[in-house]
Structure 1
Amino acid sequence: MRLISKYGLTLGILAVFLVIFSSCGSRKNMVYFQPDSTLINTVFEQYIPKIQKNDILTIVVTATDPKVTAPFNPLSTMSSSNMTQGVDLALRPTYTVGKDGEITLPMLGKVRIEGLTRLEAIEKLRSELSQYIKDPGVNINFNNFRVSVLGEVARPGSFIMPTERVTILEALGMAGDMTIRGVRENVTLIREVDGIKTIHRLDLTKQETLNSPYYYLVQNDVIYVEPNKAQINNSKLGANTNIIISIAGLLITVISVLTR
Structure 2
Amino acid sequence: MRLLFFLLLTIFSCSTKKDILLIQDSNSTTNYDFEYKEIKIQPDDILRIKISSKTVDLTSLYKPDNTNLRQAGNILSYQIEGYLVDPNGFVNIPGLEPVLVKNLSLNEAVIKIQNLLEKEAVLTNGKVDIKFLNNYFTVLGEVKNPGKYSFLENNMNIFQALGMAGDMTINGKRDDIKIISENGGKMIVNSIDLTSSKLLESGSFQILPGDIIIINANTARVKNAGIVGNFGNLLSALSFILSSIILITNN
2:48 corresponds to 1:31: no
Q: Which residue of 2 aligns with 1:195?
A: 185
State the Cα distance separating 1:204 from its structure 2 match.
Answer: 0.8
Distance 1:29 1:257, change over 3 A: closer
Distance in 2, Cα, partners of 1:105 & 1:96: 10
- Of the candidates 114, 118, 121, which is equivalent to residue 106 of structure 2? 118
Q: Which residue of 1 aligns with 2:79?
A: 90
Q: Which residue of 1 aligns with 2:94?
A: 106
- Of the candidates 121, 125, 128, which is equivalent to residue 116 of structure 2? 128
Runs of 4+ in structure 1 off by over 4 angstroms are 36-39, 246-259
- Partner SS, residue 60 of structure 1: strand
Q: Which residue of 2 aligns with 1:155?
A: 145
State the Cα distance separating 1:119 from its structure 2 match.
Answer: 2.0
Distance 1:248 1:25, change over 3 A: closer
Distance 1:98 1:18, change over 3 A: farther
Q: Which residue of 2 aligns with 1:19?
A: 9
Distance in 1, Cα, partners of 2:24 & 2:241: 49
One-letter code aligned to 1:240: N
State the Cα distance separating 1:72 from its structure 2 match.
Answer: 3.5
Distance 1:91 1:207, change over 3 A: closer
Distance in 1, Cα, partners of 2:116 & 2:184: 26
Count of paired positions: 235
- Of the candidates 225, 243, 246, which is equivalent to residue 235 of structure 1? 225
Distance in 2, Cα, partners of 1:241 & 1:247: 10
% of aligned pairs identical?
A: 29
* Cα-to-partner distance string for 1:108-141 (whole Å, 9 max, x where unaligned): 2222222222222111111111122101111212
Distance in 2, Cα, partners of 1:148 & 1:127: 37
* Cα-to-partner distance string for 1:89-117 (whole Å, 9 max, x where unaligned): 7362x122233222222232222222222
Return 5+ residue gaps in structure 1 as ranges: 1-7, 77-86
CA contact (8 A) 1:61 1:73 kept: no
Distance in 1, Cα, partners of 2:15 & 2:247: 43
CA contact (8 A) 1:63 1:69 kept: no
Distance in 2, Cα, partners of 1:257 & 1:187: 50
Distance 1:207 1:168, change over 3 A: same
- Partner SS, residue 33 of structure 2: coil
Q: Which residue of 1 aligns with 2:175?
A: 185
Q: Which range moves more in the overlay, 35-44 or 48-57?
A: 35-44
* Cα-to-partner distance string for 1:48-85 (whole Å, 9 max, x where unaligned): 32222321111121112443564343449xxxxxxxxx
State the Cα distance separating 1:194 from its structure 2 match.
Answer: 3.7
